Amino acid sequence: MASHQALLIIDYTNYFVADKGALTCGEPGQAIDKNIVKIADNMKKDGDWVWLPTDVHRPFDHYHPETKLFPAHNVRDTWGRELYGETGKWFQENSGKDTVKQFDKTRYSAFAGTDLDLRLRERDVDTIHLVGVCTDICVLHTAVDAYNLCYNLVIHKSAVASFNQAGHDWALDHFENVLGAKVVK
């Protein structure tokens, strides 16, 4: 029986999580590592899809809007773009499985400029679980696009983080009260 659920582990890289990351969430981002792995293990065990949309940039890309807002980050083939901590180890151990896949994204939303919607629909996925960073940027924009594409949303509160606590809190409220997402522990 095919799974109708997918987990998206969004942007859980050294640049966004490690102490020396260019746009680090620091401790809040590091604290969710084990929770992400636990959720990924459970979903994999249940036969669900586990995908890792991962931000990628070229240094000093004057045509990309983020260049005006943030320092260079998630540059391809750098330490900073590597997956962080236990989540990175989990991916290395599971990356050969058909249900586990990492893919590039160049915008906040995992749907923008990718074939994510097509891949989810091919697999009859109707429910998307979201974890990762940043709650109020890439997780939020992915959730908004998923909502507009009529997916059911589950946000794992214990597995999202941001470098902006007020933005994090606002996004959690927005997921539930504006996007109709189920926010779980």
Q: Is the pTM of this model over 0.85?
A: yes
* Inter-residue contact 91 to 122 (CB < 8 Å): no
Confidence tier at 23 by pLDDT (50, 70, 90): confident
93, two tokens? 């151990």
pLDDT at 74: 74
Contacts 24+ apart (CB under 8 A), 116-122: 116/51, 116/53, 117/149, 120/6, 120/49, 120/151
Write the pLDDT tens digit of every residue in 111-168.
Answer: 999 999 999 999 999 999 999 999 999 999 999 999 999 999 999 999 999 999 999 9
Q: What does the domain layout of the chain look like in residue ranges?
A: 5-184
Report whether pLDDT(171) > 90: yes
112, two tokens? 């923008």
Max mean pLDDT range (12-16, 20-24, 77-81): 12-16
CA–CA distance, 185 with 179 (Å, rounded to integer): 17
Pick one of 3.40.50.720, 3.90.650.10, 3.40.50.850, 3.40.50.300 as the CATH number of 5-184: 3.40.50.850
Write phi, then psi, for 70 (nearest 5 degrees): -135, 155
Write the pLDDT tens digit of every residue in 64-117.
Answer: 667 666 666 777 788 888 999 999 999 999 999 999 999 999 889 999 999 999
Write phi, then psi, for 13 (nearest 5 degrees): -115, 165
pLDDT at 1: 46
